[in-house]
Structure 1
Amino acid sequence: MSGADRALTALAGVAGVLGVALSARAAHAEGGGSLDVAARFLLIHAAALLGLAALIGGGALHPRLGRIAAWVLVAGLALFCGDLSMRVFRGVALFPFAAPAGGIGLMAGWAMTALAALVRPRR
């Protein structure tokens, strides 16, 4: 496993921890709906990042495109979930349009994942 794949696996673990923590907080906090959405996105994408790292390592995805897709997903998660969380905990947005930018990043990451499955790596 490459260092980049290890980093993605570690970030998947961080996303999982944050997803569980936000789920617990959402059950007890005002504004829990936004936290619940952020938690679900983190948990779903934690599994997706693990899957991407495994598929890249196993040669099922174009390695460069797969890694770029995973990093785009990480950035999208940070913006989308970070903005929702900041709005609940601090009462302010991360920055204007952070959540929509994160959502677009997540869609781009998924589209790039599909591309990584279709493009054959050079040999």
Structure 2
Amino acid sequence: MNQKSCNWIVVGALSGAISVLLGAAGSHWLQAVIESDYAETYSTAVRFHMLHSLAIILGAIVLDRMALNFFLSVALWLLLFGLAIFCGSLYFLSMTQFSILGAIAPVGGIFLILGWLSFAFGVLRSNAKRAS
């Protein structure tokens, strides 16, 4: 496995570990901090965090298996930034009830969408190069 893919797998694994830690913290220790109105928001952040941590690991494996291409690399960065912005804003919103943070979440969501689209385009492009 190339070093770039290994690095991304480590990033995804560490992100997944943080997701589990934050999920456990939300279930056990942060109940006093998170108001019940924001518990679902926190839960959404944990779910998206874990899902996109796994997506980064999957993307790293695909990046290693296919010819390295720009779009797959960009997809991983977009997923990472999207995860940080989307989930981070929801975590902080849940804990602080500072409503402006809710307005930041859609920016992270856009990064996540672009990451998935870049991933799909990168796979299609890599597959087209193999066929020709």
> What is the TM-score of this pair, normalised by structure 1?
0.84
Q: What's the CA shift string for 1:4-59, capped at 9, x where partnerless?
A: 32332122012211211222133242332111111111111111111111111011
Long gaps (5+) in structure 1: none
Name whichever of 16-25 and 3-12 sits farther off: 3-12
Higher helix share: 2
2:89 aligns to what? 83
1:8 aligns to what? 8
After superposition, where does 1:16-31 map in structure 2 within 5 Å?
A: 16-28=16-28, 29=31, 30=34, 31=38
On the 8 A contact 2:90/2:101 being kept in 1, the answer is: no
Q: What's the CA shift string for 1:61-113, capped at 9, x where partnerless?
A: 65321111011000000100010011122332575732000001101100111
SS at the partner of 2:90?
A: helix
After superposition, where does 1:19-98 map in structure 2 within 5 Å?
A: 19-28=19-28, 29=31, 30=34, 31-59=38-66, 62-92=68-98, 97-98=103-104
SS at the partner of 2:56?
A: helix
Long gaps (5+) in structure 2: none
Which one has a bigger Cα radius of gyration?
Answer: 2
Structure 1 segments of 4+ aligned residues over 6 angstroms from their partners:
none
On the 8 A contact 1:65/1:115 being kept in 2, the answer is: yes
On the 8 A contact 1:62/1:116 being kept in 2, the answer is: no
Count of residues in Structure 1 that have an aligned counterpart in Structure 2 = 122
Q: How far, CA to CA, are the matches of 2:70 and 2:49 in structure 1?
A: 23
Name whichever of 64-73 and 28-37 sits farther off: 28-37
**How large is the RMSD of aligned CA atoms in angstroms?**
2.3
